Amino acid sequence: MKNVQLWLLHFVIFLWITKSVRSEPQTNLLNKGCSQYISTDVSAFSGNRNLTFNDLRRQLSNNVHFATAQQSGIYAMAQCRNYLPGVDCLACFDAAVSLTLNCSSDGGARVIFEGCFLRYEAHDFYGVATLPGNEGKCSTNRSTIEENLIDPAVESLLRDLEVATPKTHGLFAAATKQVFGAGAGAGTGSTIYAYAQCAQTVSQSVCRNCLSVAYGNIRSCPPRAGGSSVDAGCFLRYSDTSFFPSNVITDITAYVQGGSSSSKSTIIVCIVGALLLFLLVLALFLWYRLYRKKAERDDILGLTKLQGPMTYNYKDLKSATKNFNEEYKVGEGGFGEVYKGIIKNGDVVAVKKLAMTTSKAKADFETEIRLISNIHHRNIIRLLGCSGKGSELLLVFEYMANGSLDKFLYGEKRGTLSWKQRLDIIFGIAKGLAYLHDQFHKRVIHRDIKSSNILLDVDLQPKIADFGLARLIAGDQSHLSTRFAGTLGYIAPEYAFHGHLSEKVDTYSFGIVVLEIISGRRSANSNTDPVTGPLLEDAWKLYEDGMHSDLVDETINPNEFSMEHVAKII
């Protein structure tokens, strides 16, 4: 208690000394949280934590922007944005400290402001940059720069920072990009400002991966005026107004290009590049004329008018799947079967074979490909292209080496998922659904979220698949009455009984999938399932009786989780 009082007194004195100094510590809160770990000796833990705070503040007082400290099993880290003056860095740090004291568990906390970051834990987290819960926040204000100008400018600048920052000394970079056009200001144009930073305790590759995730979390922010993305060990921000002084701007050209070259070499490269570009354009023009004639002969529901997906040759896909050999079959989708295919360039793809016998089925198919071709998210399956011959139509997707989630929960791969992997899958599905419901330009409702429609890549990251039942809803509609579709065991009651379709239908199904992930059980009985009762009823009864542990899959190592955490997930 004495240490806490001493720290607060120190904090008050500091504020009194600096109150006359104009500062901008950028203490807009982006993220905060408390650890699930509970110390057995709260007094000792609090005292050691405050010693690490004192050590961090002493280091930051020496005009550095990154510091770590350890004390009796407590690991702490503080980081300010490198463009902040020393006094603002300390002010931001002190504000972060005051928020961490609100955590009652005394087991760890994190606070992330726009200007700084503070975290302490009862374990070593220094080498970790990306964790579940990473998120992006977009400004509520729309930029004055036109959408067709700010979108490519922000993407280009953030992508450059993603490549350059891990190569810089100190793992941070500030950069700008000029935007010219009718909506960017007359004559002089407007400027986009961006900043990227990683914890100095992570490697270059870890930093790069973290910034890649961070970019994915704010790529949909434009045409908003700004956006920030936070994670365990990196930070990414852009804005159409300046938030750092011009003297801290980093020249990232050499980092992005991988080095400099002489003027003569540059001229030669430009000439050769221009010649190759001309030949490429000519070849594309000739190919397009030939392809257009062929497309006029092979009418595939007007697919040549679609933007995004590639049109594959039907014979090539037939050959890639060995004439749709049963050995290459990997699953079944909403309208048909899915096969593994190896195309001519060696890439492995998933080919969804559809038999369209009615006009409605063809309309659903066209809706599906138009929809999926415009959806880009790391937790949603990516459509590569399409093809067709008569009533038989094909969709080509990225191939998921680990197949569907249900095989890992109660199929042949049961018992191979750790608790952390299950949490990552839960968070990944949630992010994909949040994108479909709130971040895509149309509100998309999947209508058939279930474990067999969640595919896992080589890293066991989840991707939502099978949009055969997807529907679009106008933004001002709360629900839509529609003909029933979906899978028993995952269906929301208001949809099953009344046909009311809203994003809550997916949310309900997602909850069922979460219970399956935790328990390793099917949502409903089947002839081959040894479960004696429906999962939802059992989960509810165990919840009411406070017996959460009985719901957890027996194949999970009990040392990997705490029951408090399990109860929160349930």
Please identify every residue annotated as catalytic.
Answer: 448
∠ Cα 185 229 459 (to 5°): 130
Instruction: Give me the long-range contacts of 420-427 (CB less than 8 A, separation at least 24).
Output: 420/560, 421/460, 422/517, 422/518, 422/556, 423/132, 423/569, 424/132, 424/460, 424/461, 424/462, 425/454, 425/456, 425/460, 425/461, 425/462, 425/517, 426/514, 426/517, 426/569, 427/132, 427/133
Exposed/middle/buried for residue 446 (C-beta within 10 Å: 0-12, 13-18, 19+): buried
Residues 6 or more apart whose CB falls under 8 angstroms from that of 436 comprise: 375, 380, 443, 444, 445, 446, 464, 506
User: Could you tell me the sign of the dihedral formed by the alpha carbons of 121, 124, 127, 132, in that order?
Assistant: negative
In angstroms and rounded to an integer, the radius of gyration of the C-alpha atoms of the chain is: 27
d(CA 222, CA 200): 29
Q: What does each C-alpha distance from 387 to 87, 307, 347, 563 come to in angstroms?
A: 62, 14, 17, 50
Residues 73 and 90: beta-carbon distance below 8 Å = no
Which DSSP state fits 436?
Answer: I
Q: Which of 252, 156, 170 is nearest to 204 (CA)?
A: 170
d(CA 53, CA 55): 5
Q: Which of 499, 508, 419, 490 is nearest to 451 (CA)?
A: 490
Query: What is the secondary structure of 371-403 as a DSSP string?
Result: HHTT---TTBPPEEEEEEETTEEEEEEE--TT-
Q: Which two tokens stand for residue 233?
A: 């060990």
Run of H or E including 487: none
Which DSSP state fits 1?
Answer: -
- Count of beta carbons in the 10 Å neighbourhood of residue 373: 19
Exposed/middle/buried for residue 258 (C-beta within 10 Å: 0-12, 13-18, 19+): exposed
